[in-house]
Structure 1
Amino acid sequence: MRYIAGIFEQLKVEADQRDAETAGKARGFENLRPFTTDPRHIGRREIQDFMAWMRKQGLDPNTQAKYLAHMRSFLKIFKNHTIADMDADGVRFPKGNKKPIRVLSTEDLQAIFTTLDDMLGWRGSVARGMIALSFATGTRPKEFRLSHLEDLDLKKMTFFVRHPKGEGSWASATEIDIIREDMVPFLERYLRERTAYLKEHGISKAVPMFPNLYRGLDEFYSANAFYIIKHDVELASGVDFKLKDFRSTLTSITVNSDMSLLPAMSAQLRHKTIGQTQKSYYRMEQGAAGKQLRNAWKNGPAIVPQKGVIDSKYEPSGYN
């Protein structure tokens, strides 16, 4: 909201300049209501100017819709229902389309885990642990970032999600299974390296699964710190990815092998309904559709042009 507030301050300056010019050129505009940034009094004029600014900036419709949603929620705090009233009057607001959910390819996964195997130092250890845990369980970045050491039980092959999405609202802490056994060696290695790292610093035990000793004993890594460590893996592997991609990739690989596993996968992901998982799965497959279709044509008949792509009367540069 600070960013949006800054935009409104900028729009107010521009609006005040326009109002002054208009009032100086014609009568009847002296009493024009001035542009306001007071959330109690923001009206249609301010919202329309804001939407015009977003269009002028060429913002993605998803971003425009997100900014307006933030504004709607913020104004409601002050009992200002301007956006809702405009919506009821038929004003057309930008609507974002949900983007396909990314699924990492087998080649990308191989590159990432080969890189993880070779990474050195404590940051390399954290990278191994967090990515292996994510891919083994399908947990969200925040859920494994704020996990405790005691939450992971490799004997029972379970992981306790202590801080789930929707915590305190519609979700409670729960135990889920480790469903990719090939991730266990990575996790075992991380736990050994974690013990050695703590010992080097004269510490016998620490609560966090991923202790951040730079911040202090029993301190967790911030989301930004995890992003930096993830970026180390990106640079070394040559693969751009988000930590949440392992959740969708795990789902896609599991369900593609057997569609009857969809209900079980829905439970693993802790979705409210199977329908939610089906919609997510559809968006995952949208993201991978192009590659699947290209692969389907690899063994198909090739159409070879009878005439060369560059006509003989042209030089190789393409200019005659």
Structure 2
Amino acid sequence: MSVLQEGSGETNDCLVGDSVNVPNNHLLRGPEVGTTQDRKGQNEPDCEPRSGQGSRRNARKHRPGPKAGVARSLGRYPFLAEVKVYLRDVRHAYAESTFVEIERKLPYIHEVLLLLKSRNLVGTMNPNKIGQLEIGAFVDWMNAKDGLRTRPLGPGYQKKLLQHLGNFLAYNDNNIIDRMVRKKQLKRPREPTIPQSSFDEEELAAVIVALEEAADRSLNALGVFGHAVFCGFTGTRPKEIRLANRSDYSENYWELTVYHPKGENAWADPRTVRVCSPGRGFVADFMGLRARELKRRGIQDGRDLPLVPRFTKSGVEQWPDNALHNVKCDVERSLGLRFDFRKLRRSYGQNAFDKGARMDHVSKAMGHATVSTTQRYYVRARSAAALDEIDRVYAVASVDSIRADCRKARCSE
């Protein structure tokens, strides 16, 4: 029995898609505080339940259509009816992963609103008419006020839900969330700053050496080694390397032109990155292993071949995202390592900054539109380095010299 119809005695079916079983305490419990346990949707319903599907479906066949001049009714579930139209219209405006997230979260928000309506906390489910009362009740539910939940949602998860709800309502010419923010009636949740770990130069070299030794024996490890080398010594994203061709890389200048910034269906300008000097030997080793395998298979190294190819029985292809992730996990287990391509990318930026590179230059090399993105998620001023810099500044003018200058100034008066 669904939480939304507790005690009704009705059987719930899905309005869209296949039927799912929603846990009774799902909306009252939710993800842990400070986490977003929704990446695979394990804490979210796939679709919205409703009762009496069979009888209403038969009745709908004989229901007369709307009369001329009369506005179309949105039915019993106006929110979901408009969600279908919204998803159809914005599908090509988002990357696939983002669209899947939207497709999952809006029905989840609809189920929350149904719960609030069953408790007489909201007055309407129509996206065109949702107002301050409904938004306030939804925010109270996220923050577990008045016993609506057993614990609040994390601020990052709250921010995502409000963002998707706001975009959906704005599509329906309802800017209630923006108006409430401007009038100080609503404060957008701020995602806390999460410390991001990175490898120092010695740790990075140890990981790359272990991967290179495995790449000499395994073709799967060779693919992981290639992605790790370019992520760790050019600061590129793994999806950018996965989509790169051989023609994009110049061995004479150690430069790689990224023609697919941020991966598929992402809008950004191409940029050129350069292999930093500590990684050039590793990159040369990878290109040697790559050429050796192509020669063994009798394949001509053409410009259209992937930069980091996946060798299969049928030939050479680009690495699929899921396959690369699974192979990386297998390599980690076999070598007893723990690493992440994104951590290697962060290590590139952090090590460059620690060596004295300016933050805006690091941000530009990593392909960020603003320095704030680099500072928030990738590169931080280390506490020890900050204290050393302060000591260096104060060492220029010691306390004794400052006192002497003050005495001279008083005597001259």
TM norm. shorter chain > 0.5: yes
State TM-score, norm by structure 2: 0.55
- Maintained 8 Å contact 2:123/2:133: no
Matched, 1:2 2:103: yes
Other-structure match for 1:189 = 285
- Number of the residue aligned with 2:194: 99
Would the alpha carbon gap of residues 13 and 171 (structure 1) be closer, same or farther in structure 2, given more than 3 Å must change? closer
The residue type equivalent to 1:183 in the other structure is G
Aligned-pair CA distance for 1:68: 1.6
**1:33 to 2:123 alignment:** yes
Q: CA deviation at 1:128?
A: 0.6
Distance 1:192 1:100 in 2: 37
Paired with 1:284 and 1:62, the residues of 2 have a C-alpha distance of: 20
2-side partners of 1:43 and 1:227: how far apart? 44
TM-score for the superposition, normalised by structure 1: 0.69
What are the residue-to-residue correspondences of 1:1-320 with 2, within 5 Å? Answer: 1-19=102-120, 33-34=123-124, 36=125, 39-55=127-143, 56=149, 57-90=151-184, 91-106=186-201, 108-119=203-214, 120-165=217-262, 171-180=268-277, 182-198=278-294, 203-205=299-301, 207-212=305-310, 219-236=317-334, 238-259=336-357, 261-262=358-359, 264-272=361-369, 275-276=371-372, 279=375, 284-285=379-380, 289=383
Secondary structure of 1:96 counterpart: coil
C-alpha change, 1:47 and 1:161, in structure 2 (3 Å) is: same
Compared CA separation, residues 12 and 236, structure 1 to 2 (3 A):
same
Q: How much does 1:81 deviate?
A: 1.1
Residues 154 and 184 in structure 1, CA contact (< 8 A), matched pair in contact too: no
Deviations 1:249-303 (CA, angstroms, capped at 9, x unpaired): 12222222235x5554344234446x5487359x6336x549999xxxxxxxxxx
Give the gaps of 5 or more residues in structure 1: 23-31, 294-320
Greater Rg by CA = 2
> What is the number of residues matched between the two proteins?
275
Question: CA, structure 1 residues 154+279, in 2 after alignment: closer, same or farther (shift >3 Å)?
Answer: same
- Note the aligned Cα RMSD (angstroms): 3.7
Structure 1 pair 232/49, CA: closer, same or farther in 2 (3 Å)?
farther
Greater length-normalized contact order (CA 8 Å, ≥ 6 residues apart): 1
Q: 1:114 to 1:73 in 2, by over 3 A?
A: same
Change (3 A) 1:88 1:185: same
Unaligned residue ranges in structure 2 (runs of 5+):
1-101, 144-148, 388-413
Within 2, Cα distance between the matches of 1:284 and 1:112? 20
Q: What CA deviation, in whole Å up to 9, does each residue of 1:8-40 have, x standing for no partner?
A: 243244235334xx9xxxxxxxxx734x2x544
Which region of structure 1 is more displaced relative to structure 2, 126-135 or 141-150?
Answer: 141-150
Q: 1:79 to 1:230 in 2, by over 3 A?
A: farther
Identity rate, percent: 25
Matched residue type, 1:73: N
Displacement, 1:97? 2.9
Q: Displacement, 1:117? A: 2.4
